Amino acid sequence: MADIFERLLKNYGPIGQHRERAHGYFAFPKLEGEISSRMKFRGKEMIVWSLNNYLGLANHPEVRKADGDAGRDFGLALPMGARMMSGNSDYHEQLEAELAAFESKEDAILVNFGYQGMVSLIDALCNRHDIIIYDAESHACIIDGLRLHPGHRYVFKHNDLEDFEKQLQRATALIEKQKAGGILVITEGVFGMAGDQGKLKEIAALKEKYEFRLLVDDAHGFGTLGKTGAGAGEEQGVQDQIDLYFSTFAKSMASIGAFIAGDRKIIDFIRYNIRSQIFAKSLPMPLVIGNLKRLELLRTQPELKDKLWENALKLQKGLKERGFDIGKTDSVVTPVYMKGGVEEATAMVMDIRENYHIFCSIVVYPVIPKGHIIYRLIPTAVHTDADIEATLNAFSETKKKLDAGAYKVEAIPDMAEVTGKRFDYLTQRPKNK
């Protein structure tokens, strides 16, 4: 019999294999100081493009006061227990009611985390006779929820309506053959990697031809899209066609928790059947009260969303003018596509951090195909014109180095051991073990 731990230690996985060089720098970095567009990384001030603090609410004075007052008045323990047993409160119910109204739905239910909530929601909704149809670029929480599904699941090519309809036809035929079950379609309001919106309007239009229910994960659209900030459904004019609207507090509200909104009877079913909430402690009172304040500001201060979009459009326009490929984003999420391997990508990240003081997240294999690099920039309402200009200049200079082969190294830079050292990649290369 094999020792399961021995097997794990022989293969740490595609990302874990780099841990001895990457930990604390490329992976598990530590940003310090007040949450803002500029923070400290290894003692240096960086312009930060990696925080989902879209509206700048993380350090908004009213939010900080609400969080602090609630922590003082209630502590983190209250309410004690799961919502169904002993962890309910008027504040939890108030937040649910306000979220439902904001999303133009009859009711809403709070869940502790977006990832956990989506996994458990799929499990609660579908039985072995049901068929799930989902977009190929769905978030990992959706994929993990699908792994729990005992029935059939069909994937359609990303935002490909022709392929989507083919999968609807397959699912409909199977339902008719087995004489049991229904169809759940899952897509996203905004796809967090590429920044493009899901084709909600076109998908919803097919309800006239096929029978299915629509679940939309709008983590990146909530608070950023639509006239009032209600999300991608409002932006595309089909909020009433979304049967279940799902979003998290971790993006625009810079907090913890998530919610599901929909028809009252369906939300009530979920409330009594979603295992991740029935068997988990309720959201602590400071988070609930803090989220009430955040939702209030989202509703009453539209200038926050306006400033976010002003910054996002300046950044995206500047990148395109400099010849960068930012794909088909029609949200504030700003990907920058480049060519190169993992080693080149990490060397470039090191240069842009150490010598240009820009901190942004980079995506490489195995998340995307080999030979490709994506910088994923997250603009916020608190970024300044100076932040944007400095970043555009840094990108232009490092892109020239990438194209010239200046970042070609045999292994990723050993930044787990190097602190505060500057590298000029045109004259000096980092030591590789």
Q: List residues bridging with 45 in a β-sheet.
A: 40
48/32 Cα distance (integer angstroms): 11
Distance in angstroms (rounded) separating the CA atoms of residues 171 and 150: 15
For residue 217, the surrounding DSSP H or E stretch is: strand 213-217
Q: Residue 419's pLDDT is what?
A: 45
**Which pLDDT belongs to residue 88?**
97
Q: Over the stretch 27-85, which tens digit does the pLDDT of each residue have?
A: 899 999 999 999 999 999 999 999 999 999 999 999 999 999 999 999 999 999 999 99
Which pLDDT score is estimated for 361? 87
Q: How confident is the model at residue 18 (pLDDT cuts 50, 70, 90)?
A: confident
Mean pLDDT, residues 90-100 taken together = 98
Q: What is the mean pLDDT of residues 176-184?
A: 96
Q: Is the pLDDT of residue 220 over 60?
A: yes
pLDDT confidence of residue 203: 98
Higher pLDDT, 433 or 277: 277
Look up residue 317 and give its amino acid: K
pLDDT digits (tens, 9 = 90+) for 329-377: 999 999 999 988 888 888 999 999 999 999 998 888 777 788 888 999 9
Of 153-162, 356-365, 390-399, the poorest mean pLDDT is in: 356-365
pLDDT at 251 over 50: yes
* Beta strand 213-217 pairing with 358-359: unpaired
- Which residues, other chains included, contact 282 with Cβ-Cβ below 8 Å and sequence gap of 6+? 79, 80, 81, 82, 83, 87, 88, 89, 92, 112
Contact 181, 131 (CB under 8 A): yes
- The 3-state DSSP composition of the chain as helix, strand, coil percent (nearest 5) reads 40, 15, 45
- Per-residue pLDDT at 433: 38
Residue 125 has pLDDT above 50, yes or no: yes
Looking at residue 369, its pLDDT comes to: 82
At residue 144, the pLDDT reads 96
Q: Is the pLDDT of residue 430 over 70?
A: no
pLDDT exceeding 70 applies to what percent of the chain?
A: 96
Q: How high does pLDDT run on average in the chain?
A: 93
Question: Taking the model in full, what pTM does it have?
Answer: 0.93
Q: Confidence class of residue 417 from pLDDT cuts 50, 70 and 90?
A: low
- pLDDT at 150 (0 to 100): 94
**Average confidence (pLDDT) over 4-10:** 89
> Cα–Cα distance between 280 and 81 in angstroms, integer?
7
Q: How confident is the model at residue 262 (pLDDT cuts 50, 70, 90)?
A: very high
- pLDDT score for 208: 96
221 contacts 235 by C-beta, under 8 angstroms:
yes
Mean pLDDT of 14-21: 83
Q: What mean pLDDT do residues 147-169 have? A: 97
Burial category of 374 from C-beta neighbours within 10 Å (exposed 0-12, middle 13-18, buried 19 and up): buried
Q: What is the pLDDT of residue 421?
A: 46
Q: By mean pLDDT, which of 231-245, 303-317, 410-424 is the weakest?
A: 410-424
Look at residue 297 in the predicted model and tell me its pLDDT.
Answer: 98
pLDDT confidence of residue 20: 85
